[in-house]
Amino acid sequence: MSKIRKAVFPVAGLGTRFLPATKAVPKEMLPVVDRPVIQHVVDEARAAGIEQFIFITGRNKGAIEDHFDIAYELDRTLKERHRTDDLAELARDLPAAGMTSFTRQQEPLGLGHAVWCAREMVGDEPFAVLLPDMLHQSAIPCLKSMIEAQAEHGGNMIGVYEVPFEDTHRYGIVDVGDGPASALPIRKMVEKPKQGTSPSNLAISGRYILSPKIFELLGNQPRGTGGEIQLTDAMVTLQQSEPFHAHVFKGRVHDTGTKIGFLTANIAYALERDELGSELRAALRTLL
Ligand code: UTP
């Protein structure tokens, strides 16, 4: 596989678990501390050297597109008020002109279908997929170490993390053979195994490096669980002809698509911040 230049961000889901907050605001725009969830994930991709950011959006997701654009009126007001730090931060967060693309998934037919919508923008090269719900907190960005491992070991790569065995029935789980933790050969992928039957406690974390062959498979993929086109089903088929590796992420994964994961992410990211950490610790102690 060649260099990973493009990343796909599927952001077309309805975010029903966060209603009514997500009635008019995309769930990807909900803040973790003071940055929208999607900004955290785009930051991870930028730190990994991604050059093209492809967003699969849907109805009511316009705020995401606006977020990755210059806000002239705001910039002018900040300039007039000499808020140079804020201006610099806004400029820093913005991918350069031409680095973002947006396409609409007209119906939310599932994650696999959302990824398939990126086929023309990705073309015939390997690419990354980052689920914006899943925040990966660590000093070394998860996608960066995945790209490095993929350059060394080749094949398709799936980010995984350790979860308690008793919770494995809630996740996509991989069964792996022997190898380095950065690239364990995947024998099998199992979606939400029944309790007590899971082959491992390595859960799929929402980071993928995939070969473009996945698009052809997704295009012919019948609907799976929940009537949706599942990315995992197409990966299982692709595994018959291409190797897959699991990359064990050593940091903390927060599923911000759930209320508890979202709240925990806010606390965990705020505790890391110099200007917030000690005050938040004291506030939490008082609360508890
Ligand atoms: P989720 O199922 O977790 O997100 O999909 P959701 O559907 O927005 O959330 P709930 O369950 O209704 O609360 C994981 C990711 O895949 C995207 C979502 O936007 C989310 O980032 N997705 C999902 C799509 O882009 N299209 C789809 O059809 C489904």
Whether the pLDDT of residue 40 is over 90: the answer is yes
Whether the pLDDT of residue 282 is over 60: the answer is yes
Whether the pLDDT of residue 1 is over 60: the answer is no
CB 141 within 8 A of CB 212: no
Of 1-5, 107-111, 137-141, 171-175, minimum mean pLDDT range: 1-5
pTM of the model: 0.95
The rounded percent of the chain whose pLDDT value lies above 70 is 100
Of 150-154, 156-160, 192-196, 216-220, minimum mean pLDDT range: 192-196
> How crowded is the C-beta side of 50, counted as CA atoms within 13 Å?
32
Please indicate whether residue 110, judged by its CB atom, sits closer than 6 Å to ligand 1. Answer: yes
**H-state helical runs in the chain:** 37-47, 62-67, 72-80, 84-93, 111-116, 119-122, 142-153, 213-219, 231-238, 259-271, 277-287
Please indicate whether residue 257, judged by its CB atom, sits closer than 6 Å to ligand 1. Answer: yes
Q: Is 70 left (phi over 0), alpha (psi -120 to 50) or beta?
A: beta
- Residue-wise pLDDT for 248-267, tens only, equals 999 999 999 999 999 999 99
- Residue-wise pLDDT for 132-163, tens only, equals 999 999 999 999 999 999 999 999 999 999 99
For domain 6-256, the CATH class is alpha beta
Q: What is the pLDDT of residue 225?
A: 75
Q: Which atom of ligand 1 is nearest to the CA of 18?
A: 13
DSSP 89: H
- Residue-wise pLDDT for 107-138, tens only, equals 889 999 999 999 999 999 999 999 999 999 99
Q: How far is CA 232 from CA 104, 236, 241, in A?
A: 21, 6, 15
Amino acid code (one letter) for 2: S
Please indicate whether residue 159, judged by its CB atom, sits closer than 6 Å to ligand 1. Answer: no
Q: Ligand 1, residues 14, 18, 207, 254: which to mutate, most atoms within 8 A of Cβ?
A: 14
Nearest to 143 by CA among 280, 288, 9, 281: 9
Q: Which atom of ligand 1 is nearest to the CA of 228?
A: 28
